[in-house]
Structure 1
Amino acid sequence: MFDHLIPASSAQNPLTIHTVTTSGFDAWVNGLSDLHKSWIGANRFEGKRGTSLLLPAADGAAACVVLGFENDAKAVWDFASLVMTLPKGTYQLETSVLEDETLCERAVLGLYLGGYRFDRYRKIDAPLAQFARPDTAAADRAENSARGIALARDLINVPANDMGPAELADAASSLAGEFDASVTTIIGEELEKQNFPAIYAVGKGSDRAPRLIDMRWGDENAPRVTLVGKGVCFDTGGYDLKPASNMLLMKKDMGGAAQVLGLARMIMAAKLPVRLRVLIPAVENMVSGNAFRPSDVINTRKGVTVEVGNTDAEGRLVLSDALTEAASEDPEVLLDFATLTGAARVALGLGLPALFSNNDELANALQNTGMEIGDPVWRLPIWEDYRPLLDSRVADTNNISSGAFGGAIIAALFLDRFAQGAKAWAHIDLMAWNPSGTPGKPEGGEAQGIRAAFRVLSDRYGQ
């Protein structure tokens, strides 16, 4: 997929990509030849970010490229715009970009992601342009991020008929094999026998057996970092059935699992000195004679009984067992990712995941880093005053609120009970989908928050 980036040593007579900011555009133009001034005027090029123009040589051949950009976190997408717009040829970044480590990483990441395409089911034209990949640490970091993001996107984009619980487990095993990690999987009725009753209760209604995927990697004596991802491979809503229109994107309800596998790939490829564990409860929420029902009372691994107020609030149920197991090892950092609530989307929109945490240091690091690198998350409170809204008259808790408001907070309050034991826990409630395409972000599955999480973990544990 990323073969449009080639080693710099293999680039034959590449054209240089020059960059110009809006504020510096007039001064830059004044320094050009009359030929280039006339060409820019004729093409009405104004140096707006994300726009580019080929400049000619005196003989009419292409001489170089100019890209309008701003040197900020969104520069990634300015460079991504080049990949599908430049004609066939080979191009290289200018020296000033290469010498700025932060900008170089952003630029190379943009070039990688600008060429992302999901072509499993239909042919999509590859980029015509090729780009010289710098042989630098910044480029290595960019490639690592791009490959983690691409993995997450690919997994989300595969439809549910080809991405059920078994196929999700296969994807985890394939990743584990690449990095010499170990994977165990608990399947079907074994979940109940081994005390993962909530995962089994949600998934038993499908003829594709539920499972808990458990991947481990790294030195057993290293600091423990555990990732948990919601792996609902398709969500009908269960007996609280979704309208047909609301099911159209439900192949993405395993988006949390995709995020943690993408993030795990980044961690393992970077060889962070951590003991990594990845837990994915993989299920389908289907309607059948064996499916769980509204008003059922189910047990959890923690021993907390849950009254099912709504079968379409299934994600928090499967996460409860996985978080209980994760917290039992007292990890230093526990992160969970989930396409959990529509309420988070109403509050923050599709492009800004909601962040909840029991630890201010971790929450601040994730939010600040996310804003700095252009992978934003926004913290919402775990508001204790709302906890009574989860009360049940027949069980220890309900899985939904007795009220209509604050749904994302209610879900976080439910999960918080099962994450207790982790020194620092953060829950990220995300969309995992681009509803429309822009350069580097095509319509379809999306990675959200994992670049920020990887940077935080790298800053904390990196060598």
Structure 2
Amino acid sequence: MRQSLILKSEANKTTPIYAVNEANLETVVGSLGQLAKDWVALNAFTAVAGSCLVVPGSEGGRAAVLYGTDADALPSPFALGGLVAALPAGDYHLDEPFPDMQQAALGFALSSYRFTRYCASTKELPRLAVAGEVDLERIYTILDGVQLARNLIDVPANDLGPAELADAVKELFDKHGGTGEVIVGDDLLEKGFPMVHAVGRASSREPRLADFTWGDENAPKVTLVGKGVIFDTGGLNIKPSGSMSLMKKDMGGAANVLGLASMIMAAKLPVRLRVIIPCVENSISGSAFRPGDILPSRKGLTVEIGNTDAEGRLVLADALTLADAENPDLLIDMATLTGAARVALGPDLPPFFTDDEDLAEEISLVSEAAADPLWRLPLWQPYMKYLDSKVADINHINTSGAGFAGAITAALFLSRFVENTGSWVHFDIYGWTPMEKPGKPAGGEAQGIRCLFDVIAEKYSTKE
């Protein structure tokens, strides 16, 4: 499929795409001849940013494509993605390259994603021809990882349960020669994952934890932990129907972690990669955990349950404790964790939390360069008191802060389970694009992983 999206310029005869605006429209159209002038006038095309007009040739076919851009600003790196839905099938090239053709081609490819598992698409997609300096293999590596994340999120929970999510981890690692194990059901208690078990035990589908590794054992250790709640009813603190409709995406952290792992392994980065994903369904039955319960954790801390709809941080805490025990060089966790993060920053700008100043600066710089927006929020230690419990070591939600700083206190809770790792960063992602935009079709979304792939590649690719 990916070969049908981007191709080398010399491969076929292609139709030129002209970036036009109010200032240069007349000049560009004039160079295309009278037929083009008449066609532009007939269609009242004014080169509004994002608009598109296919200009016919004198002997049929397509002579050119006019694509409206902003005259006063550089085009968005992913602006070309807006053409995918507008163009008929065929091969195209840019008359003049974008400032960053690597990103432009990637945006075009990312916009071509369609979720077709349940409703096959018969529309043939346009293809973009690019010059030789564009690294197609890198585009394919990123595209595969992003599409893996999107596909997993888009599958509904009736077809993606804990077992299927764990199978997806195994399948990915098997493909690249990795190894690992999946711990299932009551074995979670025997092997020290009581909170993963507690969250998932109410479902008819047994909870499990997938733990897989790849790469040279002597290489720097990079560990990824993803929240794999395949559906979240809210448990006994049941969600209202409007809040439950998108809960198939509550395993978006796991999906994004697998997308990032796919990129790392496909690129053969010189790291020892480990992926840990607790796979559970937060359901309701007689065995569901309750508000007020006090749960043991893998770390030994007792945790008072303030609300069963904050289950993600519980399963992550056990998984982070496992990851932290081997003191990885870099520990990344990703989760669709809090509504507070969306209230603060909206669906397009996930926050991240870390005490590593150098890592925070690198993530911020690379996210901008990669057109993969992220924003740092603080691990503000004074708010740790909001997690105090009178009957346990810690409460897992903010019970004394009048509902303030929900994303921060969730991150602070997780921080209690990380103490050995060289560098830890937590991402509170949304995992969903509500409205289609260039590079981002509506639906399941990869957030932060293109940035993290670049960060990891830069950080470790030159190391022995």
Work out whether residues 327 and 422 of structure 1, in 8 Å CA contact, stay in contact via their aligned partners in 2: yes
Provide the TM-score with structure 2 as the length reference: 0.92
Q: Which residue of 2 aligns with 1:105?
A: 102
Please state how far the C-alpha of 1:31 moved relative to its aligned partner.
5.7
Aligned counterpart, 1:441: 440
Q: What does the per-residue CA deviation read over 1:33-86, in whole Å, with 9 as the maximum and x for residues that have no partner?
A: 45544443443334343333223444454222233346858331x211222211
Instruction: Describe the shift of the 1:68–1:329 C-alpha distance in structure 2 as closer, same or farther (beyond 3 A).
Output: farther
Of 316, 319, 324, the match for 2:321: 324
Per-residue deviation, residues 147-197 of structure 1 (Å, max 9, x unmatched): 111100100010111111100011111111221111211111111111111
* 1:83 aligned partner: 84
CA distance in 1, matches of 2:82, 2:418: 41
Q: 2:332 aligns with which of 321, 331, 335?
A: 335
Post-superposition Cα deviations, 1:304-353, rounded to whole Å, max 9, x if no partner, equal 11011111111000000111111112111111110000011111111111
CA distance, structure 1, for counterparts of residue 445 and residue 295 of structure 2: 33
Distance 2:101 2:247 in 1: 37
Higher deviation after alignment, 220-229 or 116-125? 116-125
Say which is worse superposed, 172-181 or 6-15, in terms of deviation.
6-15
Aligned residues with identical type, % of pairs? 50
Closer/same/farther in 2, CA of residues 18 and 243 from structure 1, 3 Å limit: same
| Cross-structure match for 2:281 | 284
Q: CA deviation at 1:3?
A: 5.2
Counterparts in 2 of 1:383 and 1:169: CA distance versus 1, 3 Å? same
Give, in whole Å, the separation in 1 of the partners of 2:173 and 2:44: 51
- More displaced stretch, 108-117 vs 231-240: 108-117
8 Å contact kept, 2:317–2:417 = yes
Aligned to 1:2: 2
State the superposition RMSD in angstroms: 2.2
Deviation at 1:30, TM superposition (A): 6.6
Which of 348, 357, 361 lines up with 2:358 in the alignment?
Answer: 361
Do residues 118 (structure 1) and 120 (structure 2) align? no
- 2:265 maps to 268
C-alpha distance in structure 2 between counterparts of 1:188 and 1:308, whole Å:
21
Q: Does 1:209 align with 2:206?
A: yes
Contact between 1:115 and 1:126, CA under 8 Å: does it hold in 2?
no
Matched, 1:459 2:458: yes
Could you tell me how far apart the structure 2 residues matched to 1:73 and 1:265 are? 30
Q: CA deviation at 1:20?
A: 4.2
More divergent stretch after superposition (284-293 vs 21-30): 21-30
- CA contact 1:350–1:431 (8 Å) conserved in 2: yes
Q: Which residue of 2 aligns with 1:388?
A: 385
TM-score by length of 1: 0.93
- Hey, what's the Cα distance between the residues in 1 that align with 2:170 and 2:130? 30
**1:15 corresponding residue in structure 2:** 15
Out of 74, 90, 93, the residue aligned to residue 76 of structure 2 is 74
Distance in 2, matches of 1:360 and 1:399, equals 26
Gaps of 5+ in 1: none
Tell me the residue number matched to 1:54: 54
1:75 aligns to what SS in structure 2? coil
Query: Structure 1 residues 23, 327: CA separation in 2 closer, same or farther (over 3 Å shift)?
Result: farther
**Alignment counterpart, residue 150 of structure 1, candidates 147, 155, 169:** 147
Deviates further, 441-450 or 36-45? 36-45
Q: CA deviation at 1:438?
A: 3.0
What amino acid sits opposite 1:216 in the alignment? T
Residue of structure 1 equivalent to 2:164: 167
Aligned residues: 458
After alignment, is 257-266 or 280-289 more displaced?
A: 280-289
User: Contact 1:182–1:216 at 8 Å: present in 2 too?
Assistant: yes
Change (3 A) 1:306 1:19: same
Query: Which blocks of at least 5 consecutive residues in structure 2 are unaligned?
Result: none
Q: Distance in 2 between matches of 1:236 and 1:110?
A: 35
Closer, same or farther in 2 for the Cα pair 1:15/1:206, shift >3 Å? same
Residue of structure 1 equivalent to 2:220: 223
Q: SS of the counterpart of 1:280?
A: strand
Query: Relative to structure 1, is the Cα distance of residues 107 and 21 closer, same or farther in structure 2, using a 3 angstrom cutoff?
Result: farther
Q: Amino acid of the residue matched to residue 347 of structure 1?
A: A
Asked if 2 retains the 8 angstrom alpha-carbon contact of 1:4 and 1:127, the reply is no
Tell me if structure 2 keeps the 8 A contact 1:105–1:141: no
